[in-house]
Amino acid sequence: MRTLKLVAVSAGLSSPSSTRLLADRLLQATRYKLAEQEYAVDVEVVELRDLAVDIANNFVTGFPSERLQDTIDRVTGADGVIAVTPVFTASYSGLFKSFFDLIDPAALTRTPVLLGATGGTARHSLVLDHALRPLFAYLRALVSPTAVYAASEDWGSGGDEYTEGLPARITRAGEEFAALVAAGSGRAEEDEEIVPFEKQLADLRLD
Amino acid sequence: MQFGIFTVGDVTTDPTTGRTPSEHERIKNTVAIALKAEEVGLDVFATGEHHNPPFVPSSPTTLLGHIAARTENLILSTSTTLITTNDPVKIAEDYATLQHLADGRVDLMMGRGNTGPVYPWFGQDIRQGIPLAIEHYALLHKLWREDVVDWEGKFRSALQGFTSTPRPLDGVPPFVWHGSIRSPEIAEQAAYYGDGFFANHIFWPKQHTEKMVRLYRQRYAHYGHGTEEQAIVGLGGQVFMRKNSQDAVREFRPYFDNAPVYGHGPSLEEFSSQTPLTVGSPQEVIERTLSFRDYVGDYQRQLFLVDHAGLPLKTVLEQLDILGEEVVPVLRKEFENLRPAGVPATAPLHPAVTATKEA
């Protein structure tokens, strides 16, 4: 069986970062579930902080540095992508959005994606559904049903009578996402095609 | 091989003095630059076409016609002619006229343009960019080859019994290049007609150029115009030179840092390693330019961008002196020594130009 490749993209800025921590936990939960089904899994975490200048330069010049291109290739070539951002000013962070702005809009089509976000208070948790989910819907990614929001207080508390605690939400998200990744593991690479000139002319009905 | 310069025609403030040339000055300077190109022994002068500030070249054949009258040997070309938003009938007429006035010293490069609003300003739709380039060129190609044209297309009003005048000089249309950065459709179009393919090359990583030229060569052979090696390829380049490398870097850095297009982004050093930009000694420019051949094969035309980002006229003329005296003579010799027999040395010249050369 082919080794499955999971890439987590973390837009956390501090070190250590709770965004990175959530990305790691989601990655771990997914990997654990896939390993149970005897899939070989290869994981990687991309810290966008390390690419911040490359990302800005790409906006200025119109092309990515070699390092940024390599990262984009690894993300778009992954069998599953875990995308985690801190909440800034009522949405994903600018750095997070900027990275995905640089990816070809078709490059994540049908790629399973697990969403996560972190913030100081649980009041921002709908960012997952009101900001992140539409972004990945636009990219035609297969967004996993459960996305995980971690507020500061979640790292130090269990659940309550209405909500499961963070570990349970992470486990559930990992299980659902692992199923999507496993189901898509036969995804074939699409080749770039040349449209012969006769066809281009014929489309215009010219001789 | 042919060597020359291509200009964008930007009016840009000199960041070292804060001075901005007037449009009048920029146009006159462009003429001075073209005349200097001929004086120092370059082969080609090409102008861009733009229809918005801060650019001046909206009327390329007026500019090139004037330069034609004041030069003897320089080939006048474009970089690029907007095949999408210009009426192909007007292109046929304008460039055929220029060809007569310049006694055949004319070729041109088709491009789609990269300024969104130009399409609606000229009554076109940017989403139709590629189909426009294909249909308009198909008509232009016909207008220069058939005396009486009946035509019906998707984008332009129909023509019945139309003759584009003047007819091309001695019945030989100007040679056409198709310029593109990364659209395979355009490489395919150039290959289909057996026309030249010009890779912009500058401001972009070489991977785009390598991929497009490879595709063009394969398809050129596929359409039976010759072998892959015989396809007609041109490349852009961007240079700034001084005797000592460090002086070149020191002098060019403020222009680089503030340049339109790429300024305020990566450092001069990063951009030089990512794109063909070469800032250094004449020897460094020679070595870098020869290295282009490693990934595109033997090619026929090399154009340099030397007059943008607010560089003053005096500096640009000095750059042309260095190109003409120290760089191009060496490159001519080196490329010629490397070129296998059977691979054309230059893009096709008009018979009137060949005749002058032989006389």
CATH code of A168's domain: 3.40.50.360
Closest CA–CA distance from residue B219 to any residue of chain A (Å) = 9
Please give the pLDDT value at position A184. 86
Which residues of chain B have a Cβ shorter than 8 Å from any chain A Cβ?
130-131, 134-135, 138, 153-154, 184-185, 188-189, 191-192, 203-205, 215, 219, 223, 261-266, 270-271, 274
CB-CB contact of B139 with A207 (8 Å): no
Q: Which domain holds residue A111?
A: 4-203
Name residue, tokens 């006389």.
B359
Q: Which domain holds residue B19?
A: 2-358
Please give the pLDDT value at position A63. 94
Look up the ipTM and state it.
Answer: 0.83
Which residues have CB under 8 Å from B282's CB, separation 6+?
A: B241, B243, B322, B326, B327
Domains contained in chain B, number: 1
Please give the pLDDT value at position A164. 86
Which residues have CB under 8 Å from A171's CB, separation 6+?
A: A29
Is the pLDDT reported for residue B254 higher than 80? yes
Kindly list the residues from chain A whose CB atom is less than 8 angstroms away from the CB atom of residue B131: 200, 203-204
Closest CA–CA distance from residue A63 to any residue of chain B (Å) = 7
Q: Which of B185, B262, B274 sits opposite A195 (nearest CB)?
A: B185
Is the pLDDT reported for residue A195 higher than 90? no
Does B266 contact A204 at a Cβ distance shorter than 8 Å? Answer: no
Q: How large is the average pLDDT for residues B106-135?
A: 94
Is the pLDDT reported for residue A191 higher than 80? no
Please give the pLDDT value at position B226. 97
Contacts A–B by Cβ distance under 8 A: 60
Q: Which of A63, A192, A200 sits opposite B185 (nearest CB)?
A: A200
Q: How large is the average pLDDT for residues B4-8?
A: 97
CATH for B59 = 3.20.20.30
State the average pLDDT for chain A. 93
For chain A, the three-class secondary structure string (H helix, E strand, C coil) is CCCEEEEEEECCCCCCCHHHHHHHHHHHHHHHHHHHCCCCEEEEEEEHHHHHHHHHHHHHHCCCCHHHHHHHHHHHCCCEEEEEEEEECCEECHHHHHHHHCCCCCCCCCCEEEEEEEECCHHHCCHHHHHHHHHHHHCCCEECCCCEEEEHHHHHCCCCCCCCCHHHHHHHHHHHHHHHHHHCCCCCCCCCCCCCHHHHHHHCCCC
Stated pTM of the model? 0.91
Please give the pLDDT value at position A198. 87
Tell me the pLDDT tens digit for each residue of B76-85.
Answer: 999 999 999 9
Tell me the pLDDT tens digit for each residue of B81-97.
Answer: 999 999 999 999 999 99
Q: Which of B153, B185, B263 sits opposite A204 (nearest CB)?
A: B153
B137: pLDDT confidence band, cut at 50, 70 and 90? very high
Q: Which of A60, A192, A197 sits opposite B264 (nearest CB)?
A: A60
Tell me the pLDDT tens digit for each residue of B171-199.
Answer: 999 999 999 888 999 999 999 999 999 99
A204: pLDDT confidence band, cut at 50, 70 and 90? confident
B157: pLDDT confidence band, cut at 50, 70 and 90? very high
Q: Which of B25, A88, B1, A32 is nearest to B11 (CA)?
A: B25
Domains contained in chain A, number: 1
